[in-house]
Structure 1
Amino acid sequence: MRSDLRLPALRRHRLFESADLDETRELISRVMQPHSLIPQGHAHGRSHMDFVRIGGFGVGTIRFGGAIQVDVEAVDGYFLLMFCVTGNAEVRAGGRKIIVDDQHAVIRAPGEPFSALMSPDCEQLIMRIDPASFSGDTASMIGAQTSVSLASGPMRAWKEQLKLVASSDDLLNIATHNPTVGAHVESLLVGLLCGYDTRHGVSSQSAIAPQFVRRAEDFIAANLAARIQLPEIASAAGVPVRTLSEGFLRFRHSSPISLLRQMRLDRARQIIRESTSELRVATIALDCGFTHLGRFAQGYRDRFGELPSETPRSGNSR
């Protein structure tokens, strides 16, 4: 699996390349924390690490020359966020097994252990964040998490901003050498990670939501065409209806049913745009879980500013 993150500017901040795993472990430990490396199989090539500091956080990439297991006894005094630019990793943390790739990240708080089995083509993107970058409440909230989806709105924005910083030589160099610019970049990335409005310091739609909220979102995404109701979503999330509704209100500023409707509309729009005029709008609406075509058309116009029949179809030009 290859991500859309190319990171050309970050590549020019290479700390080392090495074919020696002992040297690799020592050099990474100077930036991160002590750890052990256990190769999986006999073939092993060159490892490398790119890394740069901006304000109170550091961002970099690590690639080993083959499949490898990384064991960390304790994250050394910072918050660690890691996902894969290429390949994937199987991470064991907080009593869970987490599959990490370019759409799913793992988070570890200071002092927490973890173990990761990296695929042969895995390149990690790692971010180490000073706890002082967070307020006490925010640090506690993030510390309670073990994973986060990079496909959610706030985290998509976070990933796009990270991509911008790591792709622009001028921006990255200014951010690393100018404390004022570095502080602004840090505030933006940390603010998006927390789901906070950095202009006003108030809670916005938080990507770092409780596990039951994310379980509900996954269930909704997998059942867009089904006639699911709130009790079914709560059951799939493993919490009472009231707990689910309160969680969505606090962390998503919405309700589960509103999210279901929005995701259905988004899916319908995607299908319309990719189809030809031979595929009827009514068929698309039914396939996306809408049974009342008039309400579908009204909701579509409210969300996208146009009727379904007015959305251009790219399939017609093929």
Structure 2
Amino acid sequence: MELQGHFAPAGARPLLANFPLFRTSDLDEARDKVSRVFCDHRLRVVDRSQRIGAEMYLRPIRGIGVGRMRYGASVAIDPGQLGDFTLIQMPLRGSEVVEHAGHTVNSNTDVASVVSPTQAVSIRHGADTDKLFIRIDRETLERHCRQHLGGTLREPVEFLPEMALGSSRCQSWVRLMKWLCEEIGHENPQGEAVLDSPLFSAQVEQMVITTLLMCQPHNYSERLAQDGPSIAPHFIRRTERYIEDKAHEPLTIGELAEHAGVSTRSLFAGFRKYRDTTPMQYLKDVRMQRVHQELLRSAPDTTTVTDVAMRWGFSHLGHFAVDYKRCFGESPSATLGR
């Protein structure tokens, strides 16, 4: 099988062939295996005369996953909202039609699709289509975006669904994907690989997400393009890391200041100047993100919104529900019921 398009390997070996995940001719098995990587979805064969020949290859790298997949038949895929990840799909061969966020993306070897987690999507995957994909955890993406902006996100990151791979704007993304696929192609899954290094894999994760944020238009592009705030002092970044690590604990402003090695007054002033927020609001925003992630992962028959909210320190459920809807565009019960 010869792969075509921007990311074709230099040699004869198919892309990511050294990281096989599954291969099946059973529709239900294909749906189950794909659901474990992405999310629950409906899957049906469009042309009943065709037979499924699905296969997937996947290389996880921290909060991202680099993969390749095909179905071998024309299929309709309906996952609703992805929920907790962003998905970039780049056909190596063939085409697919992606309906997303009011757009119709006719995706082929020159046009990729970028699916944001908070908007419904449906996909018509062509029988001859073989695609490279990048899966990025929503929490990881939003954390990197917050760090670049130097502040909090008041709404989810939502991308323009169509990515023109031949445009000058996207050349950095294309070059990065070529390099990354080549590096993965040289790995031995049974041996030690450079991408397994925590230091190197963290840099790769950051590079992939930063390149996507800079190359593909989204609702924070204008803010990212503007001159950002002055570089924050070390104690601000130290406090942010501490909050990220300890958000589940009953933190106080005094504890945060003590950890940062400054007075509470200096901590407040620093967050106001460099982050346009307060330390405790930053903590609240992080906890709200954690609630959202937990609700997405939980089942409504074993979990309640009240339990999750209380576990993350939100004791006033009325205020919590209002703040949650402002952040995520839906009620917490709607997220749990998905």
**Which category describes the TM-score, using the shorter chain as reference length?**
0.5 to 0.7
Contact 1:154 1:192 in 2 (8 A): no
- Would you say how many aligned residue pairs link Structure 1 and Structure 2? 205
Contact 1:32 1:76 in 2 (8 A): no
1:113 to 120, 131, 135: 120
Distance 1:141 1:113 in 2: 14
The TM-score, its normalising length taken from structure 2, stands at 0.55
Distance 2:57 2:81 in 1: 22
Which residue pairs with 1:54 in the alignment? 61
Which residue pairs with 1:80 in the alignment? 87
Which residue pairs with 1:18 in the alignment? 24
The letter for the 1-side match of 2:180 is V
Which residue pairs with 2:176 in the alignment? 161
1:181-206 Cα shifts (integer Å, max 9, x gaps): 111112222221112xxxxxxxxxx4
The letter for the 2-side match of 1:147 is E
Query: After the TM superposition, which residues 1-12 of structure 1 pair with which residues of structure 2 at under 5 Å, given as runs?
Result: 2-7=4-9, 8=14, 10-12=16-18
Distance apart, 1:68 and its partner CA:
0.9
Distance 1:34 1:166 in 2: 27
1:182-239 Cα shifts (integer Å, max 9, x gaps): 11112222221112xxxxxxxxxx44268xx9xxxxxxxxxxxxxxxxxxxxxxxxxx
3-state SS, counterpart of residue 16 of structure 2: helix
Which residue pairs with 1:135 in the alignment? 145
Distance apart, 1:83 and its partner CA:
2.0
Does the C-alpha gap of structure 1 residues 52 and 101 become closer, same or farther in structure 2, counting only changes over 3 Å? same
Distance 1:207 1:43 in 2: 35
The letter for the 2-side match of 1:167 is E
State yes or no: 1:36 paired with 2:38: no
1:229-283 Cα shifts (integer Å, max 9, x gaps): xxxxxxxxxxxxxxxxxx8xx59xxxxxxxxxxxxxxxxxxxxxxxxxxxxxxxx
3-state SS, counterpart of residue 11 of structure 1: coil
Does the C-alpha gap of structure 1 residues 9 and 68 become closer, same or farther in structure 2, counting only changes over 3 Å? closer
Distance apart, 1:31 and its partner CA:
0.9
The letter for the 2-side match of 1:208 is P
Does the C-alpha gap of structure 1 residues 181 and 154 become closer, same or farther in structure 2, counting only changes over 3 Å? farther
Distance apart, 1:100 and its partner CA:
0.8
The letter for the 2-side match of 1:40 is V
The letter for the 2-side match of 1:86 is R
The TM-score, its normalising length taken from structure 1, stands at 0.58
Contact 1:80 1:107 in 2 (8 A): yes
The letter for the 1-side match of 2:21 is L
Does the C-alpha gap of structure 1 residues 182 and 114 become closer, same or farther in structure 2, counting only changes over 3 Å? same
Which residue pairs with 2:162 in the alignment? 147
Does the C-alpha gap of structure 1 residues 124 and 170 become closer, same or farther in structure 2, counting only changes over 3 Å? closer
Distance 1:170 1:66 in 2: 30
Distance 1:10 1:23 in 2: 21
The letter for the 1-side match of 2:217 is I
1:66 to 73, 83, 86: 73
Distance 1:153 1:183 in 2: 27
1:134-179 Cα shifts (integer Å, max 9, x gaps): 3238776851422222223342222222122212344686354211
Distance 1:135 1:113 in 2: 22
Contact 2:86 2:115 in 1 (8 A): yes
State yes or no: 1:189 paired with 2:198: no
Distance apart, 1:107 and its partner CA:
1.7
The letter for the 1-side match of 2:165 is L
Q: Give the RMSD, CA atoms, in angstroms.
A: 2.8
3-state SS, counterpart of residue 61 of structure 1: strand
1:47-74 Cα shifts (integer Å, max 9, x gaps): 1001111121011111002111111112
The letter for the 1-side match of 2:41 is H
Question: Where in structure 2 are there 5+ consecutive unaligned residues?
Answer: 227-338
Question: Where in structure 1 are there 5+ consecutive unaligned residues?
Answer: 196-205, 214-246, 252-318
